[in-house]
Structure 1
Amino acid sequence: MKTILIPTDFSENARRAAEYGYYLAKQMRANVLLCNAVIIPAEIPQTGFTGWLGGESELLMEDSTNELQRLKAHLELIDRTDTFRPQVGYLNDAGRVADVVNTNCAAADVALIVIGKHAASGWSGFLLANHTNALIDAAKKPLLVVPPQAPVEMVKKIAFATDFNKIGKDIKSIYELIALARPMNAEILLTHVYTEKHHSPALQLLIDQLLTELSNKADYPHIYYRALEDTTAERGLTWLCKHGQVDILAMNHGPYSFIDDILNLSHTQKMAAHLSVPLMVFQA
């Protein structure tokens, strides 16, 4: 059975993301693994702290375990349904968030990582970097970033945004997305935001070829296509998420992708402020 890994720093945003991830696991019939990266200053000189005693490290790990147990109990308590109930496990390791997450993704059958939007007031006072952006760059599995205002409800439609410049990488990510969407029977809306008045004939041919390949090979009938005209990709995708009944926005992240400008630090924060739906990131 697949597993959804939910890293947490025990902040309010992280708790809401854990609730979202748990409900998503119910839809996907997957288990949940809660994960906390315990930042021990003596082990990570870049934090600027040194010389902690072993007993202090043990206290940090003990506090982490207690918080994980409380979060596990909370998720199990709020599930009052008679449908599939995910098994909830937890773990903590010392190290940077991205390292701990990727190590445990490799050890478990993790299909998806679910994380809350970074908050500066997290439980760990030593989490000095923005772990959300670090995971966007480094996660080795699909990553779902959940804004605090995202409603915890059934996922019915996922929009995958692309400019069709890297079609091979698009197809790889779309097949990964199909595997995630299939247990939920969710629609996948392939979306292209363009700034010209019309598609070029070459681009339209590429789109037709992609849709034909997916129709023939994916064996998933709920895939559609929609083009949007706007001045920028960011504006078009924000409009789509507000007015297109989209539950999750998905996109590739990697060198030379059209979304690079959106996914740098300033644009990520700007987009997160506009979007009320989770952002799913695939490594291109």
Structure 2
Amino acid sequence: MKKILVLTDFSENSVHAAAFAQVLAKQLHTGLLLYHVVQSIPFVPNYAGGGFVTETENLFAEDSRTQLVELRDKLLAGREDAASMDILTAEGDLGSNVKQLLQDSPIELIVMGAPESSVADHLLTGSETRTVIRSSERPVLVIPMCMPVKAISNFVLATDYRSEDLSVLRYLSKWAMKVDGRLDVVHVQTNGEVAALNGQQRQIFEFFLNNLEFDNYQCHDLHGKNIQERLHRFCADKKADVLAMINYHHDFFSRLLGSSHTFKALHHLQLPILVFPANFTDVAAPSEQPR
């Protein structure tokens, strides 16, 4: 069975994200894997000459397992219809561990929490989030603390209309079809950027969506000044449950979120943000039923 990988450090925001992932697991017919990485501890000689570091690592690993069991029990309490839920702890570098885990396990989606500040702020400054995105071939969903726990059905995809985006369109359309949801595809032209696309390229995307037999979608263009503010309003008008974007090795991602004078407009966009890595592959699609 495919699984949603839930990264947790047992903070309030990561526990909230785990509860969110539990709802998504039922929606997508997947299991859950609660995962915590214990950071490596460098060897420090001690005067007693014993195995202090090794013993300390063992204590941290045991504490990690204990907290994972407590989190699993909390999520499963009183829920007879809960998705299957496994726990796993690892030691070392977060990025390397996530990359290896994705090679060994059928991970559908990665879910992690963001602190109370803006999710966009967290994506730009959170080193762990950046590490996970760089290490992953699966989409990464970042959940803000303020977001009520609920299923996702209405998607907004911010895109440059590149050919690489077609796999993301397929993935999101299957998810939207599965939950009777809606997909709004937004061509984002940042301020001062020369338009590099024309109507024909947009028609390619619409033709691609039509061939997927998905009809609850619409393509839009957003351009001009204050594009981030317009995207914020667009998501609110469409009652979007999530804002999705593709991280083309940080260029589009950073242009959309990163400049200091335009970033403020997205600072209060408290939506979950679904980031697709540049090397994303849609082999594991949400519409596939568990075996």
Output the TM-score relative to the length of structure 1: 0.81
- Give 1:207's aligned residue: 202
Q: Is the 8 A contact 2:3 2:33 kept in 1?
A: yes
Query: How far 1:92 moved relative to its partner?
Result: 0.5
- Give 1:74's aligned residue: 74
Query: How far 1:232 moved relative to its partner?
Result: 3.8
1:168-209: CA deviations, max 9, x gaps? 11112222323444432321111123468xx97961221112
Q: Is the 8 A contact 1:157 1:245 kept in 2?
A: yes
SS of the residue aligned with 2:150?
coil
SS of the residue aligned with 1:275?
coil
- The residue type equivalent to 1:248 in the other structure is V
Question: Which moves more between the two structures, 170-179 or 61-70?
Answer: 170-179
Query: How far 1:4 moved relative to its partner?
Result: 0.3
Query: How far 1:263 moved relative to its partner?
Result: 5.1
- Give 2:287's aligned residue: none
Query: 2 CA distance for matches of 1:52 and 1:279?
Result: 42
Query: Is 2:251 aligned against 1:254?
Result: no
Query: 1 CA distance for matches of 2:25 and 2:271?
Result: 17
Q: Which structure 2 residues correspond to residues 49-60 of structure 1 after superposition, within 5 A?
A: 53-60=53-60
Query: Is 2:267 aligned against 1:276?
Result: no
Query: 2 CA distance for matches of 1:265 and 1:99?
Result: 29
Question: Which moves more between the two structures, 17-26 or 231-240?
Answer: 231-240
- Superposed CA RMSD in Å reads 3.0
| Amino-acid identity (%) | 27
1:29-63: CA deviations, max 9, x gaps? 1110000010122279xxxxxx9521111100010
Output the TM-score relative to the length of structure 2: 0.79
Q: Is the 8 A contact 2:246 2:277 kept in 1?
A: yes
- Give 1:111's aligned residue: 108
- Give 2:36's aligned residue: 36
Tell me the number of residue pairs that the alignment of Structure 1 and Structure 2 aligns: 262
- The residue type equivalent to 1:171 in the other structure is L
Query: 2 CA distance for matches of 1:194 and 1:181?
Result: 25
Q: Which structure 2 residues correspond to residues 1-284 of structure 1 after superposition, within 5 A?
A: 1-42=1-42, 53-77=53-77, 79=79, 84-117=81-114, 130-164=127-161, 167-194=162-189, 203-216=198-211, 218-255=212-249, 257-262=251-256, 273-284=267-278
Query: 2 CA distance for matches of 1:93 and 1:265?
Result: 36
Task: Could you tell me which runs of 5 or more consecutive residues in structure 2 were left unpaired when the two chains were aligned.
Answer: 45-50, 118-125, 279-291
Query: How far 1:239 moved relative to its partner?
Result: 1.8
Q: Is the 8 A contact 1:193 1:236 kept in 2?
A: no
